[in-house]
Amino acid sequence: MSLDSLSEFIDCLDRAGELVRITHPVSVDLELCEIADRVMKSPDGGKALLFENVTLFDGSRSAYPVAINLYGSMRRMAMSLGVEDLDSIGGRISELLEMKVPEGLIGKLSLLPRLMEVGKFPPRVRGGKAPSQEVVWRGDEVDLGKLPIIKCWPEDGGPYITLPMVISKDPTRGIRNVGMYRVQVMGPRTLAMHWQRHKVGAAHWREMAERGETMPVCIAVGADPASIYSASAPLPPNIDEFLFAGFLRKEPVSLVKALTCDLEVPAEADFVIEGYIDPRDPLITEGPFGDHTGFYSLADLYPQVHVTAVTMRQRPVYATTIVGRPPMEDYYLGHATERIFLPLLKLTIPEVVDYHMPAEGIFHNLVFVSIDKQYPGQAYKVMNALWGQGLMSLAKVLVIVDKDVNVRDPQEAWWIALNNIDPERDARFTMGPVDVLDHASRAFTYGSKMGIDATRKWPEEGFTREWPKLIEMDDATKRKVDAMWAKLGISEGSQWSTGRGPR
């Protein structure tokens, strides 16, 4: 059974002992962030938190509880998508990608159930009153100050919606996009939309602004957990994130028409903020914001959103997150993407065996990639291919290793990589687009990248010296020591045993 709403997800976490309910009053002004930060820094990401007594900026009590760190552990991330292991989703994608039409009628018929399953995924627009529209504030009734929107860090430009699903439509093709872009509260009915220039929502806006068209935009907060995650997934612009969420859930996402603009929003959302961007408006200063790099991102100009309505459930929960010095909750969201997207990466770069973006690398700063090297120069081929793929094009440092290195263990990956390189020979620099949040690049969103070929070097690559063997104890000795271990009076083996190494 898929989880259909945020409250179902919260109940599920509660039953699994993954949730702490906090009844002590806690302010949206920095306090909630400080508590969540301490919890997110605990081993394995700590528990999810439900703040039931939240104080707003004006000192009054919020009518709505606040949930945070819902996705912030491997276990909860998997629970949110209804799986034991995130790699199993990658497995489902591989199966679909490898679907070959079998010979003969019986063989073809055997494909039907799988094809019908694919047909179940597209979102369905329902009629009647949706839970997300049980309560409606329109026009002047709207006061965003009544929502428990948190200010995270002392020098943030204001309160921010941090776990939103920002919904827009491609004005030419009509394809929907759902992106997780932070949104700053600028006034009771005004927001600043921080979609970075490489993102799909920003492309929709550029196109509409050029044509002088008013852009409808909706910001949903809280929904089925797969939809919330999908907003953060780097899908190509022609794939609707609600379709992807349907695939993850194995059930379609239920949508409803927004009340004041021409978009569809999740019928099970906790809150939906409806509004528009007027192309005649000047851009507005957004930020600074304590970002996932661990630094404040600088204030910059972004479009302003005029809010026309806020709709909500009768008893909504406000879902949020914080970013900052890693590790934080977003590491687990990014990790899910890493696992789920591996088969798609292999589709275009088949020699990729595995890849990993360690928490300290903030996704775009460092990517370890293991490859099945079959010919000289292949590490460079993989680097160039990765820098040509969607948001992977923003990767700052790529480290390519051989297939037997476990890239999901950064200690192992660095150990092998640093041993294997002659820095001058094996590092290459190139130029390209750089993440908006990169504060060190020579220009905003433009700069250099480094690729490190840490694979074993081949004679054809000019390496004529002998390549050494890895140290490994022989099996017979290992077995003898296993047998005597209990008698030695040593409680644990060292984690640095030479038995540990590349697979």
Ligand X SMILES: Cc1cc2nc3c(=O)[nH]c(=O)nc-3n(C[C@H](O)[C@H](O)[C@H](O)COP(=O)(O)O)c2cc1C
Q: Give the x/- contact pattern for ligand X in 378-417, rule: CB under 6 A.
A: -------------x--------------------------
Q: How far apart (Å, rounded) are the C-alpha atoms in residues 277 and 305?
A: 5
Q: Nearest approach, Cβ of 357 to ligand X (angstroms)?
A: 13
Separation of alpha carbons 142 and 158, rounded Å: 18
* φ, ψ at 327 (rounded to 5°): -85, 145
> Which one of 330, 354, 435, 453 is in contact with ligand X (CB under 6 A)?
330
> Between residues 233 and 407, which has the closer beta carbon with respect to ligand X?
233
**Number of helical H runs and strand E runs in the chain:** 14, 27
Tell the smallest beta-carbon distance from residue 257 to ligand X (Å): 21
* Residue corresponding to tokens 């700590």: 46
CB of 370 to ligand X, least distance (A): 24
Which one-letter amino acid corresponds to residue 461? E
By beta-carbon proximity to ligand X, the closer residue of 330 and 351 is 330
Binding mask 10-29 for ligand X (x = CB under 6 A): --------------------
**Active site includes 291?**
yes
User: Shortest Cβ distance from residue 328 to ligand X (Å)?
Assistant: 8
Residue 22, burial from CB neighbour count under 10 angstroms (0-12, 13-18, 19+): middle
Q: Which residues, 6 or more positions from 205, have their beta carbon under 8 angstroms from its beta carbon? A: 168, 193, 195, 215, 277, 303
Q: Which of 45, 201, 222, 343 binds ligand X (CB under 6 A)?
A: 201
Nearer residue to ligand X within complex by CB, 65 or 179 = 179
Among candidate residues 240, 291, 330, 453, the one labeled active-site is: 291
Q: Judged by CB, which is closer to ligand X: 180, or 226?
A: 180
**x/- letters, 24..53, toward ligand X (CB under 6 A):** ------------------------------
The residues near 387 (Cβ < 8 Å, ≥ 6 apart) are 393, 395, 398, 430, 432, 449, 451
| Contact set for ligand X, span 226-265 (CB under 6 A) | 232-235
Burial tier of 285 (Cβ tally within 10 Å: 0-12, 13-18, 19+): middle
CB of 198 to ligand X, least distance (A): 7
Say if residue 495 is exposed, middle or buried (CB neighbours under 10 Å; 0-12, 13-18, 19+).
exposed
DSSP bridge pairs for 11: none
Binding to ligand X (CB under 6 A) within 286-325 occurs at: 321, 323
Q: How far is the CB of 95 from ligand X (least distance, A)?
A: 24
x/- binding map, residues 160-199, to ligand X, per CB under 6 A?
--x--------------x-xxxx-----------xxx--x
Q: How far is CA 387 from CA 111, 233, 289, 450, 455, in A?
A: 36, 18, 27, 11, 18
Q: Residue 382 — φ and ψ, nearest 5°?
A: -65, -40
Residues designated as active site: 291
Binding residues (CB under 6 A) for ligand X: these are 162, 177, 179-182, 194-196, 199-201, 232-235, 321, 323, 330, 333, 391
